[in-house]
C-alpha cells in the first residue's frame, strides 16, 4: 500500500516509515519539519506542509494515490499543554479533524492513530488494560481521548477503519544505527540520562518517595522499533478485517528511574550525575501496560523487551561523532548517522 505518514520525519514516525518499507509498503511522509528532520525521510517522498493546510492534505492524498494513513503529527509536551491548552486542542484535535475530512473526501478509509497511555491519567490499578477508565490529567492526554472518540463516531457514520495505539514510554534507537531520538527540548528520561553520563547537563530525578521498590517512578519502556512494527501490524490487521479499536503497546514490565540510570551506567561505563527534586504534579507512581490484546488482535509483541537492549541502542546512537557535542552545546543534534 501507499501509506501517508503524518509526522513521519519525527522520532517514532521515521522509524515507522522504515518499518513500512521493510514490510513492502511505500511511506509518503507529510511533515512541516518544525520538530522533525528531513534527513529522517529516506524510504519514500516527503511532502513538506503543515497539518492545518487542508488543501495540501487533500492534494497529497489524491496525488499520491494514498490507500491508508498513519497519523503521528501532534504536539506532545505535557507541560506545554498545561500552559497553552488552546494550542494543543487546535493542533491535535482540530487539525486531526481536517485530516479525517480530507480522507473522507479522497476516499481513503483506513487510519492508524498514534495515541498514548496519557489517556489513562493516574490509574487505580496496574498493569493497565484497554478497559481501564480514561481519566487524563492534562490537555495533551485529553486531546488523545478526543481523537479516539472522533475516530469511533466517524467510523460509525462513514465506515472508516481505524485503530488507536496507546503506547507507553518510547525509548531506544534503530538497531541499524540509521535513526534515533533527537528532540528539542529533550524531555525523555533515557536520552537525558545518557546525556548526563556523557558529559552533558546533570539529570534531574523527580520524586524519590513513591511507593515503589526504590522510591522512584516506574514506567514501561518500549523500544521505538517495536512501536514502529506495532503500527505496521495494526495497518495490516485492519486490511485483513480486524475490528476497529484501541490497543496498548508495552512490554508489561516496569522499570524505575534508578533502574534506568543503572542501565545507562552499564552501557556507557560511566556514572549518571544527577540531582533529586520533588515529584511533578500528576505523575503516577507506576505505569505498566497489559498489551495482551495487541498480541491477540494484531499479532504484535516486542522484539526488544529488555531494558539493557533498549538503553544500549540509545547509547550507540548518542555516541556517534558530534552527536553529544551538539546536545551539550544546547543546539539541535545532527539527525544523520
User: Which residues are tagged catalytic?
Assistant: 140
Sequence-distant (≥ 6) Cβ neighbours of residue 197 within 8 angstroms: 264, 265, 268, 270, 271, 272, 273
Alpha-carbon gap, residue 132 to 290, rounded angstroms: 10
8 A C-beta contact, residue 201 and residue 195: yes
Residue with cell 480514561: 134
Place of cell 495533551: 140
* C-alpha dihedral, 228 to 179 to 56 to 113, nearest 10°: 20
Peptide bond into 185 cis (omega under 30): yes
Per the DSSP assignment, residues forming a β-bridge with 3 are 27, 68
Q: DSSP string of 122-144? A: S-SSSSBPTTS----SSHHHHHH
Q: Residue 158: which H helix or E strand, with range?
A: helix 139-158
Amino acid at each position: 500500500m501507499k501509506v501517508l505518514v503524518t509526522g513521519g520525519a519525527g522520532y517514532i514516525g521515521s522509524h515507522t516509515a522504515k518499518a513500512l518499507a521493510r514490510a513492502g509498503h511505500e511511506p509518503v511522509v507529510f511533515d512541516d519539519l518544525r520538530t522533525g528532520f528531513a534527513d529522517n525521510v529516506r524510504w519514500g517522498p516527503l511532502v513538506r506542509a503543515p497539518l492545518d493546510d487542508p488543501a495540501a492534505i487533500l492534494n497529497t492524498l489524491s496525488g499520491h494515490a494514498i490507500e491508508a494513513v498513519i497519523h503521528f503529527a501532534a504536539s506532545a509536551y505535557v507541560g506545554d499543554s498545561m500552559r497553552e491548552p488552546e494550542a494543543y486542542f487546535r493542533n491535535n484535535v482540530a487539525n486531526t479533524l481536517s485530516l479525517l475530512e480530507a480522507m473522507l473526501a479522497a476516499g481513503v478509509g483506513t487510519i492508524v492513530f498514534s495515541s498514548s497511555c496519557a489517556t489513562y491519567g493516574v490509574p487505580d490499578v496496574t498493569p493497565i488494560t484497554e478497559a481501564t477508565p480514561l481519566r487524563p490529567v492534562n490537555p495533551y492526554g485529553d486531546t488523545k481521548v478526543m481523537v479516539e472518540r472522533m475516530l469511533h463516531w466517524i467510523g460509525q457514520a462513514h465506515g472508516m477503519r481505524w485503530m488507536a495505539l496507546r503506547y507507553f514510554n518510547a525509548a531506544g534507537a534503530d538497531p541499524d544505527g540509521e535513526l534515533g531520538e533527537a528532540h528539542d527540548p529533550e524531555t525523555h528520561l533515557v536520552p537525558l540520562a545518557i546525556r548526563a553520563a556523557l558529559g552533558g547537563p546533570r539529570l534531574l530525578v523527580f520524586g524519590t518517595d513513591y511507593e515503589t521498590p526504590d522510591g522512584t517512578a516506574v514506567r514501561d519502556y518500549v523500544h521505538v522499533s517495536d512501536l514502529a512494527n506495532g503500527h505496521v501490524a495494526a495497518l495490516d490487521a485492519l486490511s485483513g478485517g480486524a475490528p476497529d479499536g484501541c490497543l496498548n503497546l508495552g512490554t508489561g514490565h516496569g522499570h524505575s528511574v534508578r533502574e534506568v540510570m543503572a542501565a545507562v551506567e552499564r552501557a556507557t561505563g560511566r556514572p549518571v550525575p544527577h540531582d533529586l527534586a520533588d515529584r511533578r504534579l500528576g505523575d503516577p507512581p507506576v505505569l505498566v501496560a497489559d498489551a495482551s490484546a495487541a498480541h491477540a488482535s494484531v499479532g504484535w509483541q516486542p522484539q526488544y523487551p529488555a531494558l539493557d537492549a533498549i538503553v544500549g541502542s540509545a547509547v550507540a546512537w548518542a555516541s556517534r561523532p558530534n552527536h553529544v557535542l551538539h546536545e551539550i552545546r544546547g543546539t539541535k543534534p545532527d539527525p544523520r548517522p
